[in-house]
Structure 1
Amino acid sequence: MPVRTSVNSQGNGGKGLGPGLAIASAIAFGSSGVAAKPLIEAGLDPLHVVWLRVAGAALVMLPLAVRHRSLLRRRPALLAGFGLLAVAGVQAFYFAAISRIPVGVALLVEYLAPALVLGWVRFVQRRPVARAAAFGVVLAVGGLACVVEVWAGLSFDVLGLLLALGAAGCQVGYFLLSDQGSDSADGAPDPLGVIAYGLLVGAAVLTVVARPWAMDWSVLDHSAAMDGARVPAWLLLAWIVLIATVVAYVTGVISVRRLSPQIAGVVACLEAVIATVLAWVLLGEHLSAPQIAGGAVVLLGAFIAQSSTPARNSGEPVTGGSPERELAARETANPPSRHNRLR
């Protein structure tokens, strides 16, 4: 399935919007664990928390699904793929993995997705990739290994590692599917509509997996402990649904379309750093020196990958994907009078 990146007239203000949205998405996604852990410790099964998260977000986005109901006829495969991979697949594989291997190991394997995206672009699509972008991915993955302290409690479980790789593969699907059909001149699907239907599909799949009818609903009537403080369970759930899911997916999908799957994937590695910092501040889970150093390396890798695109009119590989950079590459190969679009 080819990845298409559009070129729109966004002016100078759009240049920094893509990275900003990607960082906002990483912050939103990274906050999910801090809010979910107190609910799990209060008695909810992890899969039940995932189901509440996705089902609640699907309910919030339902009006948008109704508004974009033509997508069911126009892009059924995209909607099914996004729901199965980007929503249900990532969540289900990840939680299944952490039941067999350490959380840090599972998280590191899952966030190999940016490297896998880069490999997809280079070897499957046969598109050139700048060396600096590849170096940025290597730095980010190496720094992530320090953030999650992969050396702590590592045990080799073949099935657990395969499940974590499944989560990574589904996350690759998230980045690639988020970039699908992004050229509005071709009647591309609205990203909000794709997210809405993806959440609906994901909720339906997770209903079968999580079996919410067996959930202890009374947990939501009480409060949960967050580093000694008592927080209403419903407030934590509202944060998970509205911020860590709805806002996270919306900003994430739009950032992929403004950047590119491979660069947005590298920036998404910041999620692990953000999650660790939030756990330090809100849950009292302190960072070690290697984790702090690893977080700095992740930031450096994301910055290098984001800034690794060539100057205007250069003949070097384009990997950043922002409108101005893609337009520069297009003008190099074709006269300016032609329609500015990359497929």
Structure 2
Amino acid sequence: MPVPPTDSNHGKRLGLGLALGSALAFGGSGVAAKPLIEAGLDPLHVVWLRVAGAALVMLPLAVRHRDLPRRRPALLAGFGLLAVAGVQACYFAAISRIPVGVALLVEYLAPALVLGWVRFVQRRPVTRAAALGVVLAAGGLACVVEVWAGLGFDALGLALALGAACCQVGYFVLSDHGGGEGVDPLGVIAYGLLVGAGLLTAVARPWEMDWSVLAGSASMNGTRVPAFALLAWIVLVATVLAYVTGVVSVRRLSPQVAGVVACLEAVVATVLAWVLLGEHLSTPQLGGGVLVLVGALIAQSSAPAKESVTDGGAVAERFASPSAM
């Protein structure tokens, strides 16, 4: 039975609202994590707390989709290793050294890097619009990092942010081959978090964490905030709620539209860091940020469509971001 236009429009409005909510939730992760890092927690420990806490909350979904590890082991391993552990570890390590907005804008080079993989590794043609998107993103990044000043930010911090972008690219490439019909993106997220938590446990060694930090408070631009409240926000809002609302939004919108809305995450993160952490970006950096986002949007919308990628696969690809995550 065809869906009445009013119901369809209502569904799209709801989907758009959920996509905006997801972008807002994801955008607040770095702002909440940085005070915890500055209070004495290692960036890897903050990542472990985020992933392990979210994995625990999403555990019922993993049980519900317990056949996924047998059917899509490579996809789940790639999501856990790259999109969860890799992206988040690199991103949180980056924001311990450079501003939140800068780290996230560097990470948004991922769509442009994906096109580089398509053109030079897979040797598939890309459109002129896609090439323009890459050029705009690269030029915008040059403004964001202030190359004329000999890189105005910590070089290692910038390298870590670029590492987060590369981890996203790795997962995009993997999911392009590993997605398929019957793959529930919520199940992929649940198992990806479990895999990521296991990997991060071995690397972060949480038993060596200074747990007393969570019992105290952290400074957010001079304002004392309970550390546990910041952690709860990171786990429940910036991870679980952000993923779930994001997945539901893509089911009501197209992945392309939801992906465009998701770019607001960088804007949200930059504004929140400005207001809550006092991290100010200069006018050239803000202009460069706009170019990065425009270039990412063009690159994303110009990526060649693959007939073999189903709706489930496209949804899984969209939510590899994160900091995405």
Question: Fold match, TM over 0.5?
Answer: yes
Q: Distance in 1 between matches of 2:50 and 2:147?
A: 27
Q: Distance in 1 between matches of 2:243 and 2:209?
A: 26
Find 1:154's aligned residue among 151, 155, 171. Answer: 151
1:120 deviation in Å? 2.7
Q: Distance in 2 between matches of 1:121 and 1:68?
A: 32
Q: Deviations over 1:109-133 (max 9, x none)?
A: 5433211111233444555433223
1:28 deviation in Å? 2.8
CA contact (8 A) 1:55 1:200 kept: yes
| Alignment correspondent of 1:259 | 255
| Alignment correspondent of 1:140 | 137
Q: Deviations over 1:224-251 (max 9, x none)?
A: 2222222221211111112222233445
1:59 deviation in Å? 0.6
Find 1:131's aligned residue among 124, 128, 132. Answer: 128
Q: Distance in 2 between matches of 1:232 and 1:60?
A: 21
Find 1:171's aligned residue among 157, 168, 171. Answer: 168
CA contact (8 A) 2:112 2:296 kept: no
| Alignment correspondent of 1:117 | 114
1:42 deviation in Å? 1.9
Q: Distance in 1 between matches of 2:94 and 2:310?
A: 35
Q: Distance in 2 between matches of 1:161 and 1:303?
A: 22
1:146 deviation in Å? 3.1
| Alignment correspondent of 1:273 | 267
State how many pairs are aligned: 302
| Equivalent position amino acid for 2:140 in 1 | G
| Equivalent position amino acid for 1:130 in 2 | T
| Equivalent position amino acid for 2:280 in 1 | H
Find 2:210's aligned residue among 197, 210, 216. Answer: 216
Structure 2: 5+ residue runs without aligned partners? Answer: 315-325
| Alignment correspondent of 1:91 | 88
Does the C-alpha gap of structure 1 residues 166 and 139 become closer, same or farther in structure 2, counting only changes over 3 Å?
A: same
Q: Distance in 2 between matches of 1:19 and 1:126?
A: 35
CA contact (8 A) 2:112 2:299 kept: no
Aligned residues: CA RMSD:
4.1
Deviation larger for 274-283 or 286-295: 286-295
Structure 1: 5+ residue runs without aligned partners? Answer: 1-8, 310-316, 327-343
Instruction: Trace 1:313-332 onto structure 2 (pairs within 5 A).
Output: none
Instruction: Trace 1:54-73 onto structure 2 (pairs within 5 A).
Output: 54-73=51-70
Find 2:29's aligned residue among 25, 28, 32. Answer: 32
CA contact (8 A) 2:106 2:165 kept: yes
CA contact (8 A) 1:270 1:298 kept: no
Find 1:226's aligned residue among 211, 220, 226. Answer: 220
Q: Deviations over 1:191-239 (max 9, x none)?
A: 0000000000000111111111111112212222222222221211111
| Alignment correspondent of 1:296 | 290
The answer to whether residue 240 in structure 2 is matched with residue 243 in structure 1 is: no
Identity %: 78
Q: Distance in 1 between matches of 2:88 and 2:244?
A: 17
Instruction: Trace 1:194-213 onto structure 2 (pairs within 5 A).
Output: 194-213=188-207
CA contact (8 A) 2:18 2:249 kept: yes
| Equivalent position amino acid for 1:259 in 2 | P
| Alignment correspondent of 2:76 | 79
More helix per residue: 1 or 2? 2
1:144 deviation in Å? 4.1
CA contact (8 A) 2:76 2:192 kept: yes
Q: Distance in 1 between matches of 2:227 and 2:220?
A: 10
Does the C-alpha gap of structure 1 residues 207 and 51 become closer, same or farther in structure 2, counting only changes over 3 Å?
A: same
| Equivalent position amino acid for 1:293 in 2 | G
CA contact (8 A) 2:144 2:288 kept: yes
Does the C-alpha gap of structure 1 residues 274 and 139 become closer, same or farther in structure 2, counting only changes over 3 Å?
A: farther
- For the residue of structure 2 that corresponds to 1:154, the secondary structure is coil
Does the C-alpha gap of structure 1 residues 73 and 97 become closer, same or farther in structure 2, counting only changes over 3 Å?
A: same
- For the residue of structure 2 that corresponds to 1:92, the secondary structure is helix
- For the residue of structure 1 that corresponds to 2:183, the secondary structure is coil
CA contact (8 A) 1:18 1:322 kept: no
- For the residue of structure 2 that corresponds to 1:83, the secondary structure is helix
| Equivalent position amino acid for 1:238 in 2 | A
